[in-house]
Amino acid sequence: MLKYDPAVFAVGDTYEIMVMVTKPSLMWVRIGEKTYFDETCGILRSNREVHRMTVPADELNAAGGYTLCERELIRRQAYRTTSEAVREYPFIFHPVKDGEIRFFHIADTHSLSREPIRAAGAFGRMDFLILNGDLLDHCENAEDFGIVYEIAGEITHGGIPVVFSRGNHDMRGANTEIFPDYTPGRAGKTYYTFRLGPVWGMVLDCGEDKADDHAEYGHTICCHPFRMQQTEFIREVIENAEKEYRAESVRVRLIISHIPFTHNMGGEFEIERAIYDQWAELIGERIQPHLMVQGHLHRLSVNLPGSAFDSYGIQPCPVVIASQLEGKAFAGAGFILRPGKIRVEGVTDEGGRVLEQELDADV
Ligand SMILES: [Fe+2]
């Protein structure tokens, strides 16, 4: 049985349709005449609580829907595995189209689910959802990922795309190395580009928020080389610009990361300045994004280049810190893109607006 509705994650030129289940099962999706299994080298997977079916984005966009198929296992064995009859669940899917674009951003829920779901509902119609890290407090077992699938499933009902990015708390816990198995990513990597109609985006992953040798991590972290890999990744994206952010019909360019890496985080949290400066320079000179959307600070703010928030004068575009958490009071940020304007609305879990700001932008 499905624990929550599916999440349709945008990764590269695919969607990863991911579904949490309550019992071991086999799963696949049908789009038109084609079938996409959750499999590894020809074997249908059943030993994980979350299924993943990777499908070409173009196909799902054109079809406007998919059928999720599940066969619950009775007993998996070497010969004559037994299972229940196939259950089918049809889902309508709405790809992002040109025109007014609306999306909602959630980060730093730290295991709260009802509050961000209510805030997203209060924003109203959206074309896609961004989940930008620290939805979990830490990761001990597969159950902990329920928060991701509860939030994504209840807001999108498998009917619109979701962009996912990892936060520093997602790296903590006795069993956090399983994270890539339970979340979307490009060949197991938590940084990648995505494309949603006229919107192109790049997800970057700053990793932990302190130096690798910090006592808190007990020798378990190697984010420095991981960040250096991403400098190379940004260069590859730039080399491939014509197929990425300069592709015909791309109208909006977004950078998504959990930690606002152009900002001076202060004290032991101010790390990797040389790498982050280089990211900002490459992004600013070549990609020229319209927005960077980030979390981590547990507050809502819109920060222009040259403002006090732009500590080193390296911000390539406005930075929106788009999620607030005070106790159990949560607010996410809704974005509305109309010709020449980006409107940002901070929306509380009670439906109030705690921030309303409009930016001029070439969108
Ligand atoms: Fe964080």
Can you give the residue ranges of every domain in the chain? 7-92, 101-360
Cα of 9 from ligand 1 centre, angstroms:
21
Please give the average per-residue pLDDT across 265-278, as a whole number.
98
Total residue length of the chain: 363
Cα of 175 from ligand 1 centre, angstroms:
18
Question: What is the dihedral angle through the alpha carbons of 212, 217, 218, 224, rounded to the nearest 10 degrees?
Answer: -20
Per the confidence metrics, is the pTM higher than 0.75? yes
Closest CA to 52 of 91, 89, 6, 90: 6
Cα of 361 from ligand 1 centre, angstroms:
28
The confidence score (pLDDT) of residue 121 equals 98
Cα of 218 from ligand 1 centre, angstroms:
19
- Average of per-residue pLDDT values in the chain: 97
Cα of 72 from ligand 1 centre, angstroms:
37
Q: Which CATH architecture has domain 7-92?
A: Sandwich (2.60)
Q: Write the CATH number of the domain with boundaries 101-360.
A: 3.60.21.10
Name, in order, each residue with C-beta under 8 angstroms of 258's C-beta and a sequence gap of 6 or more. 107, 132, 133, 134, 165, 166, 167, 168, 205, 206, 294, 295, 296
Please give the average per-residue pLDDT across 43-47, as a whole number.
97
Cα of 2 from ligand 1 centre, angstroms:
29
Tell me: pLDDT of 329 over 90. yes
Cα of 47 from ligand 1 centre, angstroms:
30
CA quadruple 152, 154, 155, 156: dihedral positive or negative?
A: positive
Cα of 275 from ligand 1 centre, angstroms:
19
Cα of 171 from ligand 1 centre, angstroms:
10
CA–CA gap between residue 106 and residue 332 (Å, rounded)? 5
Tell me: pLDDT of 137 over 90. no
The confidence score (pLDDT) of residue 140 equals 87
